[in-house]
Amino acid sequence: MLALTLLKDPLYRSYWLSLFTSQMGTWMQAAAQAWLVLLLTGSAERLGLVVALQFLPSLLFSLPAGVMADRYPKRNLLLFTQGGMMFLALFMALLILTGQVRYLHVLLFAFLYGALNAMDLPVRQSFTVELAGRERYPGAIALNSFGFNTSRLLGPALAGVLMALFGVGVAYLANALSFLPLLFVLRRVAPGPKAEEGDGRWWREAQEGVRFVLENALVRRVVVLVLFASLLGMNFQTLVPAYARLVLGLSAAGYGALLSSVGLGALGAALIMAFTGKPKPLRLVLGVFFLALAHLGLFLPLAYLAPFFLALGGFGMISVLINANTLVQLSVPDRIRGRVMAVYSLVMLGTGPLGAYLTGLLFELLGGRLAALALGGAVLVVGLYQLRSWPRESSLPV
């Protein structure tokens, strides 16, 4: 298996382990941030606004970040983005631990952290191909998805324990410290070659990536599906805390357990993808149907089934994302990889502001169960539409 081969590579193994540590901290902070907003405001709509602000920079900065990823050494860019996120998390931890945090601070932090993340994502995805090699990339994405979703499973549960014992600020502090191993490993990686300079007009270079997405039938279809799935079905950062506190009335530990249910389902999908070979469009469509079933299941007045349906949602989400990401990455030339992945990131994360706010607003207007029913019905319609024929198998990447 390519994933196991990669782990035998000392440099890639160090990178993967340090990235896993950082992702653990990120998921701990995500759980803490949502809980902090609900403690400060008690409003699902206000929580949706925070999540929206965190994803909004993807609309503004993804395309320029893609151009930068193709122009400059990716390792240097990652040192900047990862270091910036570490200092932001540390600053928020100090505000919370000293009792000075306010809702406005959370809004500002969410926007700045989201801006760095919007720059980081296309660079990191391109850097993974550069570090692993194109021929080993399917194994790299399966391995990275396994780490990402293991951290999604463990991070919120650990955050719930830390918040119950020591308060919300400790989770932010843990995230700040989690960046240190990754920064150390990145310092050991050679900067890599600098690409040829463009004409200085980033929007013209960005257009080349947009044109590729629009003109490649398979990539265009995948990106459109991800757009609607992200908008309607992947808003777990708003859905889970609002459902846990406002519908089920759970404590911080119970909320962490629900978030971990999403991670458990996601981990299952990552493991299946690691052992089942190349991606398939059909798996994208099945993932959308799992997302729909997860939301529709939350409409039922059976609280004990909520972990099962959230696990189903996590499974569907990662089935969509792994297949979509791999299909796009294997279809794009190396020369414009950063710009194409920037378009993909813009679509995946840029729909987050509207989707997160929509989820919170529906909770406010309809209540938790009816909001889940409305979202599940919308995702189901998307899945039914995607059952129409896809590009022929012969046109798929090898």
Give strand ranges (E) for 22-169: none
Please give the residue that has the higher pLDDT: either 322 or 136.
Answer: 322
Q: How confident is the model over 65-75, as pLDDT tens digits?
A: 777 777 778 88
Q: How confident is the model over 197-240, as pLDDT tens digits?
A: 555 566 777 777 788 888 888 888 889 888 888 888 887 777 88
Mean pLDDT of 11-23: 90
Please give the residue that has the higher pLDDT: either 398 or 220.
Answer: 220
Backbone φ and ψ of 43, nearest 5° = -125, 125
Instruction: Quote the longest CA-to-CA distance of the chain.
Output: 60
How much is the pLDDT for 256?
Answer: 76
SS3 helix, strand, coil % of the chain, rounded to 5?
85, 0, 15
Residue corresponding to tokens 């696990």: 311
How much is the pLDDT for 206?
Answer: 75
Q: What percent of the chain has pLDDT over 90?
A: 17
CA angle 368, 240, 271 (to 5 degrees): 135
How much is the pLDDT for 1?
Answer: 56
* Nearest partner of 222 among 351, 334, 378, 326, judged by Cα: 326
Integer Cα distance of 309 and 90 in angstroms: 34
Integer Cα distance of 348 and 340 in angstroms: 12
Q: How confident is the model over 323-344, as pLDDT tens digits?
A: 888 888 778 877 787 788 888 8
Q: Is the pTM of this model over 0.75?
A: no
Average pLDDT of the chain is 81
In this predicted structure, the answer to whether residue 396 has a pLDDT above a threshold of 50 is: no
Q: How confident is the model over 268-296, as pLDDT tens digits?
A: 887 777 666 566 778 888 888 998 888 88
Integer Cα distance of 343 and 59 in angstroms: 10
How much is the pLDDT for 107?
Answer: 93
In this predicted structure, the answer to whether residue 85 has a pLDDT above a threshold of 80 is: yes
Mean pLDDT of 157-176: 88
Q: How confident is the model over 96-119, as pLDDT tens digits?
A: 999 898 999 999 999 999 889 888
Superfamily of domain 2-187+202-390: MFS general substrate transporter like domains (1.20.1250.20)
Q: What percent of the chain has pLDDT over 70?
A: 90
Both tokens assigned to 128: 């993974």
Residue corresponding to tokens 């014992």: 165
